[in-house]
Amino acid sequence: MSRRAGAVVALRPRAWLLLVAASLLGLVAFGWPLLVQPSGSENAAHAADAPWVFVLLLPLLLAIVVGELAEGALDAKAVALLGVLAACGAALRLPSGGVAGFEPVFFLLVPAGRVLGRGFGFVLGALTLFASALLTGGVGPWLPFQMFGAAWIGFFAGCLPPMRGRAEVGMLAAYAAVASLAYGLLLNLWFWPFGSAAGSEIAFVPGAGLAENLRRFWAFHLATSLGFDLPRAVLTAGFLLVAGTPILAALRRATRRAAFGAPVEFAPPAADGGPAPSEVSSSPGC
């Protein structure tokens, strides 16, 4: 599979299948409450399915990484960079834990997905939210849904069109703002069918038409979470406008020096004491 322009780590057919499977799992996890009669609180309702979603998601993420290692799209340097970026993203979430919509974790996730590609961004988003939940004590039935939301942000950051310079930073800032708002809207789905008071104008109504429930869901979003999502969008976009250029440059410099995907070649022995036949060299660049 050819490498997409601007992406350092290629996405192979096997990884595509695994990404589709993981995304379908996420869609089912978010959407099943809309098809049944909800009962109880959101925590009680998802107490049964959330662990299974989590148990299925982690092997899929591991399979994506292992499959890419086996096919040569990833190497040990890329896996090490994945771990470093996930740890940095988790540390960015420590100051707030997402309180009042202040989540600078997306500030690093968006440029990383942009530079390193869709598959890398998907896995990075999920691992970052997982690591940050362990650090902040935010482990609960909501965690797999947060992991899916962040994974999709990283994935679609890698789908943005080729662009460089100030235009690229502006595009990433605009995407980060939209993605931050979409993340909050999506995360409402994990609890909305259970969390709103029955009989109110913003409650989910089983059996009602799609248009009616969409109207109620939008009213719920405006009344409850939009005030948290707007600060997240503004701050993430602002961070990227201020520091996006050096972050992109640092990521691209690191990937150039790591030479991800560079073919390994055996250098012939040189008469002047050059490298022996057992020594290898990698062609520069990506």
Residue with tokens 């030479």: 259
Provide the residue type at 163 as one letter.
Answer: M
pLDDT confidence of residue 98: 53
Between CA 34 and CA 39, with CA 36 as vertex, the angle to 5 degrees is: 100
Q: What is the pLDDT of residue 100?
A: 56
Spans in the chain with pLDDT lower than 70: 1-11, 33, 35-50, 68-75, 96-102, 137, 195-199, 258-286
Residue closest to 27 by CA, chosen among 160, 144, 131: 144
Which of 286, 211, 214, 210 lies closest to 252 in space, CA to CA?
A: 286
* Among candidate residues 14, 16, 22, 27, the one with its CA nearest the CA of residue 57: 22
pLDDT of residue 238: 93
Fill in the amino acid letter for 236: T
Q: What is the pLDDT of residue 280?
A: 42
User: H or E segment at 220?
Assistant: helix 210-224
CA 190 to CA 30: how far, in whole Å? 6
User: CA-to-CA distance for 173 and 171, rounded, in angstroms?
Assistant: 5
Q: Go through 74-102 and write b for each residue having 16 or more CB atoms within 10 A of its CB, e for each that does not.
A: bbeebeebbeebbeebbbbbeebebeebe
pLDDT tens for residues 141-189? 788 888 899 999 999 998 999 888 899 999 999 999 999 999 988 888 8
- Contact, 262 vs 282, CB < 8 A? yes
Predicted confidence at residue 216, as pLDDT, reads: 86
pTM above 0.85, yes or no: no
Distance from chain centroid for Cα 209: 32
